[in-house]
Chains A and B, each alone.
Chain A
Amino acid sequence: MFDPHNIRKDFPQFDNYKKDFGASLVYLDSASTSQTPSSVVEAMNNYYLHTRSSTHRGLYPLAQKATALFESSRLDVARFIGASVEEVIFVPSATYAANIALQSLAESISLSELDEIVIADTAHHALLVPVQMLAQKTGAQVRYVTAENGVYDLAKVFSEKTKLVLLSVADNITGQIYDIIPICREAKKKGVLSIVDGAQAVGHMAIDVKDIECDALFFSAHKMCGPTGVAVLYIREEVLKKLKPNIGGGAMVEAVDAHTYSVRSGVAGFEPGTMPIAEVIGLGAAVRYLSDIGVDEIYGHDRALALRAALKLNKIHGVTAYVVNPSIGIVSFAISGLHPHDVGHMLAEGHICVRAGYHCAEPGVRQIAPEGVVRVSFYLYNTDQDVEDLVEAVRLIAIRANL
């Protein structure tokens, strides 16, 4: 039985906050970064204290144990998203994943000024900025597509020049879950490569990359109860075979002499140098933690809290909360006459943690509110009390500001 009050006990930060600050932590910023359960921290500590060794290199039992832990995380992650282990690459961050996915995929098709990249107009800067960099470098055209209530008009997405399409599963501002499956499937039929930003979605709703049929998908550990410093880049096996790594180093080569090198096949070619071993192990623990609870349960919980919050916020005079369906559990709102920064600041004084501004998605936010929005995000450890505390605080802020 899903009980967020019990779940909270797995996250020491809440009790620690009370001890450190003498107040209850109302953490509503999981869309920036999530809280970490003790099992994840323990798994990482266990590596550092009991299995501290390199991976894939040592001949001794300690190294073999570390390697086994590392690779079993890869298996956990692969299962979590419906992929095979041959398709899961560990990278330092989702932004890093976006950059190398774009570069490698673009290179594999010799992207040029004759080609077009299609990207959602609400894209996060993690995709938007490298896309612009790529366009500047190759001369490729960039075209934006807009969704209506989460749905893209298939006829408007593709042109004969489209070679790459970039979408998000869920919007980091409105929480809108986009219907990307039809686009990815159509892309596959047309031989267009698709890259999907799963950063807000993985660990918050069930994701199956074979169902989505995208060519690449990325997400970060720290947004799904895992540690910072590691993320996952999924690349479909048939596509991965055609890619060349752009970052060279040890561990990703078969053989090197003074003039040549040969790259290891598969995911190994994309994991140069020493990996963030503790973090990968921590990510595996996070995946197991969430799987035990059930991602579908988490999804139902988050979206219910988001909807309740949005409806109650909208009843406050001067407050506009953006309601979307289906929602990943994020709600953005604005208070008329008050800048989002000031709202966020005043909420912070009441120990309520939200994010305010453009949320690394400036073009997307400006479509809703030129000055930015306040964003609230719910996750498995949030409760009805959090909603009540938020709504009451916003009500007082709106009154204080004489609305």
Chain B
Amino acid sequence: MQDTLSWDHIFEHARQPKNKGVLTDATVHTLVRNPMCGDELTLFLDTKNKMIVGVMFENVGCAISTASASLVTEYLKGKSLTEAKLMTPGDVYTLLTFEITPSRTDCALLVYKALQESLKKLY
């Protein structure tokens, strides 16, 4: 099995994800889905003066998509929209510190997909 520390890290975030919940009156929210596995995620972004002042997510999905959402939303807090736009898939993998094989990229990037679609709505 992969380094148990890595799975521990994933499970820690998947079991008690940060920023999980509905953000009422969010500036924008986006629902995304992975058709192959059925993982679903809604990302809520609250923005003010081009800054992210609130970010939460609701989801049904695997540990990797959940952990990724927890880590990415934590990262996004207090960032500017510009900084959010500059975020890359590589940044997501770095946050995960977990080897993402091709079969798991859709899971790892589900929150990123939601972020991209949310940012499109804001601009």
Contacts and interface: CB of A to CB of B under 8 A. Distances in A.
B104 A345 contact: yes
B62 to A, nearest CB: 4
Interface residues of A, number: 20
Contacts of A370: 60
Interface stretch (B1-9, B69-77, B81-89): B1-9
Interface stretch (A56-64, A173-181, A223-231, A334-342): A334-342
B1 A349 contact: yes
Contacts of B7: 346, 400
Nearest to B60: A371
A372 interface: yes
Contact of B103 (A345, A358, A362, A396): A345
A357 interface: yes
A338 B107 CA distance: 14
Contacts of B11: 401-402
A357 B33 CA distance: 14
A346 B1 contact: yes
A250 interface: no
A350 interface: yes
Interface in A323-371: 338-342, 345-346, 349-350, 356-358, 362, 370-371
B114 interface: no
Contact of A342 (B60, B62, B101): B62
Interface string A388-403: 0000000010001110
A356 B60 CA distance: 16
B1 A339 contact: no
Given A345-B104, A350-B1, A338 B63 contact: yes
A371 B60 CA distance: 8
B4 A400 contact: yes
B64 A342 contact: yes
Given A345-B103, A357-B38, A339 B2 contact: no
Contact of B61 (A339, A350, A356, A362): A339
B2 A341 contact: no
B106 to A, nearest CB: 10
Nearest to A370: B60
A371 B38 contact: yes
A356 B104 CA distance: 12
Interface string B30-68: 000000111100000000000000000000111110000
Contacts of B107: 341
A339 B63 contact: yes
Nearest to B10: A342
A341 B60 contact: no
Contact of B37 (A338, A341, A400): A341
Given A371-B60, A372-B38, 18 more contacts: A338-B63, A341-B37, A341-B104, A341-B107, A342-B10, A342-B63, A342-B64, A345-B101, A345-B103, A345-B104, A346-B2, A349-B1, A350-B1, A356-B37, A357-B37, A357-B38, A358-B38, A400-B7
27 contacts: A339-B61, A339-B62, A339-B63, A340-B62, A341-B39, A341-B62, A341-B64, A342-B63, A342-B64, A345-B64, A345-B101, A346-B1, A346-B7, A356-B37, A357-B36, A357-B37, A357-B38, A358-B37, A358-B38, A362-B38, A371-B38, A371-B60, A372-B37, A372-B38, A400-B1, A400-B4, A400-B7
Interface of A: 338-342, 345-346, 349-350, 356-358, 362, 370-372, 396, 400-402
